[in-house]
Structure 1
């Protein structure tokens, strides 16, 4: 039996993403966001949703570029800090000792120590209510070399990304591999 819990954010887990931009004075800024993911394969596109009140919002509107860095479990405290304080009053890279590296194809910084860094050019913002969704075309992806598998893809077991669960405001690691996508369900195909 199902029980109604009402209209609320019950979609979990969510990714933990760190959005990188430059401020008006070209100081690097980052913020943690969990409302984001891939929205199109061709062109490769992702969406991130953030509030207008953030410095990151201002920076993306002005610069029309951003980066998305995916932290590993090793950097959970730094990633959490990036979401606790505002870049309007804090130098987050200095505070954490992490390295701001300028993107190769976009004028936005990424977190060098995080295993995956994605560079995006803004396609368009979409006003949704409490958040603005920024749709960005992926123009570059960098992955730590030791975390790339034999097919040239990132190895999730080595990346150890962090997930956010909103109903208890906690972070979780990824569980075990359960099966091969587009394969394990073939037993049900009667054709």
Structure 2
């Protein structure tokens, strides 16, 4: 029997993303965000939701662009740090020993040292309550060459992304491979499992 927990943000797991923006002075900034995901295939889009109080919120609205740098498990301390301090108070790139790279496609920076980067042009803004959802059209994905696997795509086992557990406020790594999509389901028939 299931027990009611109430209306909570417990659709777990969520990603650990570093959202890159430029402020009014053209200073690069990053912040950690977990409220995000792919939201459309054509055009390719992702969405990230930020509170209006964040320094990055106004920057996305003004610049109409943002990046998502996807850190590896080895970068969990830096990912946590940039989510706990404001870009108003200092240079988070410098504090983490990271390099801000100016995107040549959108008006936003990304973290050079992370394995995977998604560059987005702002398409839509949705006011949801405490958060604003920014839908960005993906204009490019950049990956470290050493992470490229089959079919020229990043190998998730080499990216080693961080997963956020909202219920326990903790970070986790990627689990084991469970099965090939559109294949493992073939073990079930109308009569049940084979």
Q: TM-score range by the shorter chain?
A: over 0.9
Instruction: Please list the CA deviations of residues 133-171 of structure 1 after superposition, one character each: whole Å capped at 9, or x if unmatched.
Output: 000000011001110103111101111100000111000
User: In the alignment, is the contact (CA less than 8 A) between 2:64 and 2:121 conserved in 1?
Assistant: yes
In the alignment, which residue of structure 1 is the partner of 2:22? Answer: 22
* Cα distance, 1:183 vs structure 2: 1.1
Distance in structure 2 (CA, Å) of the matches to 1:185 and 1:121: 36
Distance in structure 1 (CA, Å) of the matches to 2:95 and 2:2: 46
RMSD: 1.0
User: In the alignment, is the contact (CA less than 8 A) between 2:72 and 2:115 conserved in 1?
Assistant: yes
- Number of equivalences: 191
* Cα distance, 1:65 vs structure 2: 0.4
In the alignment, which residue of structure 2 is the partner of 1:80? Answer: 80
> Which SS does the other structure have where 1:83 is aligned?
coil
Q: Confirm or deny that 1:12 pairs with 2:12.
A: yes
In the alignment, which residue of structure 2 is the partner of 1:123? Answer: 123
**TM-score normalised to structure 2 length:** 0.96
Q: Confirm or deny that 1:141 pairs with 2:141.
A: yes
User: In the alignment, is the contact (CA less than 8 A) between 2:21 and 2:60 conserved in 1?
Assistant: yes
Distance in structure 1 (CA, Å) of the matches to 2:182 and 2:150: 20
Distance in structure 2 (CA, Å) of the matches to 1:145 and 1:86: 32
Q: Confirm or deny that 1:100 pairs with 2:109.
A: no
User: In the alignment, is the contact (CA less than 8 A) between 2:64 and 2:107 conserved in 1?
Assistant: no
